[in-house]
Amino acid sequence: MMNVLNDDRKDALTEIMNISYGMATAIISDSIEAHANLHVPKIHIVGTEGLENYVNSKTSKKNNYFVSVQVFINKLDGESIFIIDDKSALQVAGIFMSDADETIENEDDIVSSIHELSNILTSACVGKIAELLELEVFFHPPAVDKQSGEKIAEYKNFENFSKIIVVETVLDFRQEKIHGLLIFLLKESSFEHLLIALDKYIEQYEI
């Protein structure tokens, strides 16, 4: 087995992410009673050595960001990082809080909203991957932190991971486009499980 995400595997993974995003969007739109437009997620694979440059290319040193980190374990073993700039984070909080007839009083309200959003996205994406690929996975709760743009790519545990899947997200609620980066860091053994499972997924559609 070639240890790479070739075009067919990438197509299958994108399709699974698309299904996952459909679920996540429905969960959010149901909870805030607003329709959302679904966009095709863009997926990139980068090595651990390339993540810093990639994240830097998608973020600005001038902005501040909310970063949500969530650990998942079992056959899919890794971490997800959701990065959203503070302006988009405020929009997210506005959407979640206004639906609950509450106003944003402090940064904790924004952190709480990003906690909720990132948990829904990670659970939907990793959970659906696990379900469709018949792999079990367990989630730890996310931890949300505010970071400056200059520190955004200085992530602590790169050496524990070998492959990184980046999903560029656009959530489009009430005419507000909310951009975020969802990054999955996988350990080598998990990436191998993922490739085997993707091959099985592709095979089932061969005529």
Partner 1 sequence: MKILIADDSKIARKGVLKSLTAAFSGEFDYREASNGFEAVESFAAYRPDLVFMDLTMPEKNGIEALEEIKAMNPAAKVVIITADIQKKTTEIVSELGATGILNKPVTAEKISQIITKLV
Cβ-Cβ contacts under 8 Å for 201 (sequence gap 6 or more): 12, 16, 132, 133
* Minimum CB distance to partner 1, residue 161 (Å): 26
For residue 8, state whether it binds partner 1 (rule: CB under 8 A). yes
For residue 31, state whether it binds partner 1 (rule: CB under 8 A). no
* Minimum CB distance to partner 1, residue 54 (Å): 21
* C-beta closer to partner 1: residue 11 or 109: 11
* Minimum CB distance to partner 1, residue 26 (Å): 5
Among 32, 71, 132, 135, the residue binding partner 1 under the rule CB under 8 A is 132
Per-residue contact flags (x/-) with partner 1 for residues 155 to 194, judged by CB under 8 A: ----------------------------------------
For residue 40, give the DSSP letter. Answer: P
- Which two tokens mark 12? 């299958």
- Which two tokens mark 114? 């990003």
* Strands of the chain, DSSP E: 36-38, 42-47, 64-74, 78-85, 137-139, 143-148, 163-173, 176-186
For residue 14, state whether it binds partner 1 (rule: CB under 8 A). yes
Alpha carbon distance 186, 120 (integer Å):
19
Residue 75 · residue 193 · CB < 8 Å: yes
* C-beta closer to partner 1: residue 38 or 71: 38
For residue 99, state whether it binds partner 1 (rule: CB under 8 A). no
Alpha carbon distance 183, 15 (integer Å):
17
Which positions lie near partner 1, rule CB under 8 A? 8, 11-12, 14-15, 18-23, 25-26, 29-30, 35-36, 38-40, 132, 201-202, 205-207
